[in-house]
Amino acid sequence: MMKLRLNTSVEIKDVLQNVPTPTLVRIPIQKKHKPIVKKKQIVGRGQVVAENPSTSAYGIGFVHSSIDGIVEDVLPDAIVVGPIPAPKEGEEAVVPARPEPCAELDSLANEELCRKLLELGIDTSRFHASRALIINGLNPEPGVLVSEQLVRDAQDTLKAGLQILERAIKPGTVKLVVASGKQISLHGCTTVNASDVYPATIDPLVVHAATGSERPDNVDVISISALYRVGLVATTKLPLMEAAVTVGGKVYRVPTGMPVQDLLNAAGVEQGPEWKLALNGPMRGEALSDLSVGIPENCTAVTLVRDGLYPSVQPNPCINCGECVLVCPARIQPGMISRYAEFNIFESTRSQHVEACLECGMCTFVCPANRPVMQYLLLAKKQLTAQDEAVSTCRLQD
């Protein structure tokens, strides 16, 4: 088999780019979010539009409007905010109320600080007090430049993010994992060098490189992008309202919910029916069929691939070649598991350790039959999770 070298480290030449403020945004929300706005409601930039109903300090963050506007629609997966209508003759223009900077951030600590960060839009679900903290400074996938760009151009923001995390979770140690041979550092971190050849850049393998252990239970790992988002909140004391997104070899600061088409236009990227697009990287990204979809705050890239450059993935039969087994970093049998999932034999995927799948996409990438192997594994994991949740809520009747 040909040796794959999916390098993620590149030479960064441009600085972080800004884009024009969009007139309309489609702000993504998750199933656990509870919308708190209604259609035709005027909202200001930074105003909460959906909240996490849980009272815990650890979970998905609240969602905020990234522009001044009027709520045009409240959908199951997005809140659409458009331009405020022009005032009628004789009426004054509406001035939306914007939140004031949160002065409490400087005085809070521990769980109270985590809760405040959650309310300001930060996903705190991966935070745990007193654990070692590993910061994944490697670019997440080939062609996604965001990590090295932020380390180079946003040092002050990253430093502010690290300082507030030190008060929120008080990590015992903090390690920054960067590509071997790169002279990259971050104040307050111990630098660890590791391979930048994909899939070595995904979180579980970065943790192994930094600790020498697989799945240690006393470690939290976050990406540079996640640290940058915490730093934005720490420096502005305002809610999270933007993402750092790679498009066409540059990294842009993008308002949350900006339609993909608007971002491509702002980046000067021309695309037509001969291009395939995905949110995030080429290995694990989510295929796009609608360019009006809004950019989520955790998005790291919009990937464009010319149609026909790679064979199309199809539900073809497995040919038992074993290529997926050879490249799997979790050392499981993706081909066998995918066949169980293909025929809805989900319970049998447990004995094949489907939960160990790292979701790197290497199995699909090397499959000579062009099967959607990783997608089958993701389906199995989703079905098993739903099944377990259903069983946990069952009650025996008297």
Q: And the tokens for 97?
A: 């109320």
Predicted confidence at residue 2, as pLDDT, reads 36
- Average of per-residue pLDDT across 316-335: 96
- Average of per-residue pLDDT across 312-338: 95
Helix 155-168 × helix 146-153 angle, to 10°:
90
Higher pLDDT among residues 215 and 193, named by residue? 193
pLDDT in tens, 101-129: 999 999 999 999 999 999 999 999 999 99
Predicted confidence at residue 12, as pLDDT, reads 59
β-pair partners for 331? none
Lowest mean pLDDT among 236-245, 249-258, 268-277: 268-277
- Average of per-residue pLDDT across 93-100: 92
- In this predicted structure, the answer to whether residue 170 has a pLDDT above a threshold of 60 is yes
- Average of per-residue pLDDT across 172-189: 89
Predicted confidence at residue 1, as pLDDT, reads 31
User: 185 near 176, Cβ under 8 Å?
Assistant: yes
Predicted confidence at residue 13, as pLDDT, reads 57
Residues 340 and 343: their CA atoms lie apart, in Å, by 6
Q: What percent of the chain has pLDDT over 90?
A: 82
Indicate the pTM of the whole model: 0.92
SS3 155: helix
What does the mean pLDDT of the chain come to? Answer: 92
Q: And the tokens for 109?
A: 């600590």
User: 44 near 98, Cβ under 8 Å?
Assistant: yes
Nearby residues of 309 by Cβ (< 8 Å), 6 or more positions away:
none
Residues 69 and 145: their CA atoms lie apart, in Å, by 32
Residue with tokens 């991966």: 126
* Domains in the chain, CATH or no CATH each: 22-85 (2.40.50), 110-236 (3.40.50.11540), 245-306 (3.10.20), 323-392 (no CATH)
- Average of per-residue pLDDT across 216-244: 96
